[in-house]
Amino acid sequence: MRLNKYLAKAGIASRREADNLIRMATTTVNGEIVLNPAYDVKQDDEIRYDSTVINPASESVVVMFNKPKGVISSMKDTHGRKTVLDYISSKYRLVPVGRLDKNSTGLLLLTNDGDLHHYLTHPKNQICRDYEVVIESRLSSQQVKMMAQGLSIGRGEYGKADVLSQRTKKGRTVAVLRLRQGKNREIRRIFKRLKIRLFSLHRFSFATLDLGKLKEGEYRALLPHETQQIRQ
C-alpha cells in the first residue's frame, strides 16, 4: 500500500492532501522521515504521523451526530471545553466533516475515510447543507436575491445561500437556508454583512441525510446504503 493511501485509510486526510502532508515531513516510517507519498508500506513498518502511531482502518465508518450548543467541532480543545469526541465512542480515529461552530447545533458527520472527507468538503462538489435559522426580521426580496447571487463577507470571500422558506414565529423569522460551499462561519458572516441579528443556527440536513429522530447529543453509524448515497 502506498504511503498516501495508508494515511487516507487511517483518516488523516484524502490521498491528495496526504501527498502534501508527507512532503511537509510529518510522517515517519520506522523512525525515519519519508517524503515520498508513493513509498510502499511493508507489513512490519511502523508509521507515525505527527509522532503518533497510525494504522489503516479495516472498514470505512461514517457517524452522524446531533451536536448540542456549546460543543466544539474538533478532536481536542486546549481550553478544556467539550468536543464532539466526548460524546462519541469508536475504536477508529474519526474526523469531523467540516465544522459547526460552538453556538450552532445539529447534524455533523464524522468519518475515518480521508477520501470521503475530501469529497464531502470540497467546494467543487456542491454538497447541499440545509439550515434553520432564527433571525430578527423577515428577509426582503432584495436580500434574498443578494444571498443567492453571493455577497462579500470579508477576507476576500463571498457567501452564498438559497432561502428556501420563511415564516414568522413569536415575532421572529424562521428561515430555511441551503448552502453548497461550507465556508467558515458562512451564515453568521452573511447576516453580519446584512446587519440582521441571528439568534440561532441549526443544521438539519447534509447531502442526502437528515437527523430524523436522532436526539441532541446522540449519534449513530450510517447504514451501508446511506454511506453509498453520500458518495454519489
Q: Which residues are catalytic?
A: 101
DSSP state of 58: S
Q: Which three cell numbers stand for residue 171?
A: 415575532
Is 69:203 a contact under the CB 8 Å cutoff? Answer: no
- Strand-pair category, 198-206 with 105-111: parallel
Amino acid type, 126? Q
Q: What is the CA radius of gyration of the chain?
A: 20
Is 47:41 a contact under the CB 8 Å cutoff? Answer: yes
114 contact partners, CB below 8 Å, separation of at least 6: 7, 8, 9, 10, 11, 12, 13, 14, 15, 17, 18, 95
d(CA 36, CA 2): 9
d(CA 38, CA 2): 5
d(CA 25, CA 164): 46
